[in-house]
Amino acid sequence: MRFVDLTGSREAAGRSIRLVDMARRLPLLVRRSLALAWRVDRPATAGLLACQTVAGITQAMGLLAISGTLTALLASGDVLDRLLHAWPSVALLAGAAAARAVMGITVNWLSSRLGPLMTREAEQMLLDGCTAVELAAYDEPDFNRDREAADRGAQVTGDLIDEGQDLIASSASFLAGAVVLAGVHPVLLPLLVAASLPQAVSQVSAARVRYLANLRSNGDNRMLAVLRWHIYTRDAADQIRAGTMASFLSGRYRRTVARINREDRAAADQGARFSLLGAVCGGLGSAIVWAAVVWLLATGRISVGRAGAAVFALQTAGQSVRGLVAVGSRAVRTGLYMDDWTNFLERTGGFRMRRGTHRPGPPKTIEIASLSHRYAGKERDALTDVSLTLNRGEVTALVGFNGSGKSTLSKIVSGLYLPTRGHVLWDGTATHDAEPHALWKQVALVPQDYARWPLTVRENITLGQPSPRGDTAAYEACEAAGADEVVARLAAGLDTLLAREWLGGEELSGGQWQRVALARAFFREAGLLVLDEPTANLDPKAEYRIFQRLRDLARERVVLLVTHRITNLAVADRIVVLDEGRIVQDGTYPELAHRPGLFQELLSYQVTSETAPSDHDHSGTVPPPRA
């Protein structure tokens, strides 16, 4: 099992990294990192830029001062004269060195302040992007893969500020070296650049190989994250033990790690080969440059003093070219990760909720008109040509076998999914024309897998949206859901933290959690109440209490109940039977119970299982096989 990039578009982008791309992309990257830095901390960014400019200038001045000092000292004539000529340059050199040191410290301080802020901001933007997409996005493999890559992009965003600073510093010292070299003799600078080219190419190639290797391991890294989550969190800890799954899971983890290691090793080997080749060519290039200096000196084209300055400038410029290329290739690689992040933020546009502006109130009727729905990548419809009207004051129950489409229909009615065909009309307005958040204000949903938020009981009930009536409303909801008994037993009442992992946190039983989830729905002043298997974990007394309460709640609401328990259906005004995504029956309990069809079949299974004789009694009725 592996997650794969089906489109291969990022692989193609990675393969296209060349030296020219790097040169083209670097200014863009610096601009991009500065823009993000500006967004998170303007004074620090402005300070950083100012310091960097001053540092660049002082670096150039320092180099020029060294060149001046060497020229003066190595010139012919009286030693005292030479020293007198050299001292202004020495003073400039000392001043520039001091200024550079101060600037360097300031730049480090500001970058280390900005880097983490940028990473946090990038993460925040990613989170905001994720909450603004259609729920359907999560069914798209591309979306999930890109989100993962974007997360990595967000993590490295902060690195770009350091890399940007290194780039600016290397460029400044290269410029200073270039000015000195060009002053000594015009042939030296082009020679130096040509000699540095092989190393530049090899560094960029190595960076490309590393990025591609990482890209290929992207799916495996996702798998590791999923496995890690299951292995070390509490959720499945009991099942891992009881199911003796530990060695199976760690075996899978090990195999996945081995695949990543193979990719990494291959990339490291290939990168080393590139670097070796680059170093050999670079060494030859340097020998040619040094030979040129000797030749210029030997043929009297430059003086000893100028040759000394050239030696120093060559050292500096050579180092900065190598630095430029090294940090440049790192920045380009970081930039590619950042591209994943920006592309994802833009790509959420593909899934970003673009619905209407109508703000619905509590619905009187919800009409489902010729609705069909197919999940992304599926070959069959989950729902086909479903038409149904739900009314305020009525409890409508959806029943059917597993996979018949009940939960899908309840999510479409709640506006969580938009149907692929047909409409869901809330008092005449289609869900895709409604402002989604305004619509969801009118939805109270208890899904099959309700969230167990690691928050206080109060926050678990109010979902961070307290009522103007304060805790009274929360206590009323608890009473309606039977959660009052749960809260009464907790040491800190509504303030109790429902997360055992944290100090002072409490753990609830499955049924107690379900009561809290129900209280959550009852607390919400919403016009549509959707309950998907709401009492699966409840004891009979708690279940009875919920269904008693449901009738009162339904007076003011549209209620949609998904259940497998036929006994719960007594509360429903109307029962809709789904089979393989289609409505096959619709009516009241007595009507359906006396009509041959799927409902009778479901009823017979339930009645049989509820009245089934013990294992020792073989006279029991065997449920009728499904036609």
Query: Could you give the CA distance from residue 198 to residue 221 in angstroms, rounded to a whole number?
Result: 33
Least Å distance, CB 52 to ligand ATP, is 50
CA atoms within 13 A on the CB side of 289: 27
Q: x/- site string to ligand ATP, residues 421 to 460, per CB under 6 A?
A: ---------------------------x------------
Q: Is 382 in the site for ligand ATP (CB under 6 A)?
A: yes
Least Å distance between CB 512 and ligand ATP?
22
Report yes or no: 85 and 75 within 8 Å, Cβ to Cβ.
yes
Q: At what angle do helices 79-131 and 141-156 cross, to 10 degrees?
A: 150
Among 406, 520, 545, 557, binds ligand ATP (CB under 6 A): 406
The footprint of ligand ATP on this chain (CB under 6 A) covers a number of residues equal to 13
Evaluate whether 305 touches 75 at the Cβ level (below 8 Å).
yes
Q: Residue 242, SS3?
A: helix
Between 113 and 565, name the residue whose CB sits nearer to ligand ATP: 565
Per rule CB under 6 A, is residue 348 in the interface with ligand ATP? Answer: no
For the chain, report the end-to-end CA distance as a whole number of angstroms. 36
Closest distance between ligand ATP and the C-beta of residue 425, in Å?
Answer: 21
Cα Rg, the chain, nearest whole Å = 35
Binding-site member from 38, 375, 544, 605 for ligand ATP (CB under 6 A): 375
Member of 265, 378, 469, 489 binding ligand ATP (CB under 6 A)? 378
- Strand pairing class (365-373; 528-532): unpaired
Residue (198 or 581) nearer to ligand ATP, CB: 581
Q: What residues between 130 and 169 interact with ligand ATP by CB under 6 A?
A: 139
Closest separation between CB of residue 416 and ligand ATP, Å?
A: 11
Span interacting with ligand ATP, options 199-207, 223-231, 403-411, 467-475, rule CB under 6 A? 403-411
Closest to ligand ATP by CB, 206 or 399: 399
C-beta of residue 229 within 8 angstroms of C-beta of residue 249: no
Please state the closest distance from residue 612 (CB atom) to ligand ATP, in A. Answer: 21
User: What is the Cα–Cα distance from 350 to 345, expressed in whole angstroms?
Assistant: 10
Is residue 403 a contact point for ligand ATP (CB under 6 A)?
Answer: yes
- For the CB of residue 136, give the shortest distance to ligand ATP in the complex, in Å: 8
Of 154-162, 165-173, 330-338, 406-414, which segment contacts ligand ATP by CB under 6 A?
406-414
Element (H, E) at 373: strand 365-373
Q: Where are the beta strands (DSSP E) in 190-275?
A: none
Task: Kindly tell me which of 184 and 578 has the beta carbon lying closer to ligand ATP.
Answer: 578
Q: Which is nearer to ligand ATP, 53 or 144 (CB)?
A: 144
Other beta carbons within 10 Å of 141: 14
Measure the CA–CA gap between 528 and 34, rounded to whole angstroms: 47
* 3-state SS assignment for residue 73: helix
Q: Which is nearer to ligand ATP, 69 or 404 (CB)?
A: 404
Q: Could you please report the per-residue DSSP string of 117-164?
A: HHHHHHHHHHHHHHHTB-GGGGG-HHHHHHHHHHHHHHHHTTHHHHHH
Q: Which is nearer to ligand ATP, 353 or 536 (CB)?
A: 536
Q: How far is the CB of 562 from ligand ATP (least distance, A)?
A: 6
**In angstroms, what is the minimal distance from the CB of 139 to ligand ATP?**
4
Q: Indicate whether 404 belongs to the interface with ligand ATP (CB under 6 A).
A: yes
Burial annotation 237-252 (CB, 10 A radius, 16+ → b, else e): eeebeeeeeeeebeeb
Among the listed ranges 174-182, 216-224, 397-405, 597-605, the one in contact with ligand ATP (CB under 6 A) is: 397-405
Residue 462 and residue 474 in contact, taking contact as beta carbons nearer than 8 Å:
yes
Place of tokens 């730049």: 107
- 619 binds ligand ATP, rule: CB under 6 A: no
* CA dist 185 → 125, 309, 478 (Å): 52, 11, 86
Under rule CB under 6 A, residue 397 binds ligand ATP: no
Binding mask 478-517 for ligand ATP (x = CB under 6 A): ----------------------------------------
Applying CB under 6 A, among 400, 415, 527, 534 the residue interacting with ligand ATP is: 400
Of 15-23, 268-276, 400-408, 472-480, the window that binds ligand ATP (rule: CB under 6 A) is 400-408
**Which distant-in-sequence residues (6+ apart) come within 8 Å of 183 by Cβ?**
67
Q: For residue 626, which of 396, 404, 448, 408 has the smallest C-alpha distance?
A: 404
Residues that bind ligand ATP (CB under 6 A): 139, 375, 378, 382, 400, 402-408, 448
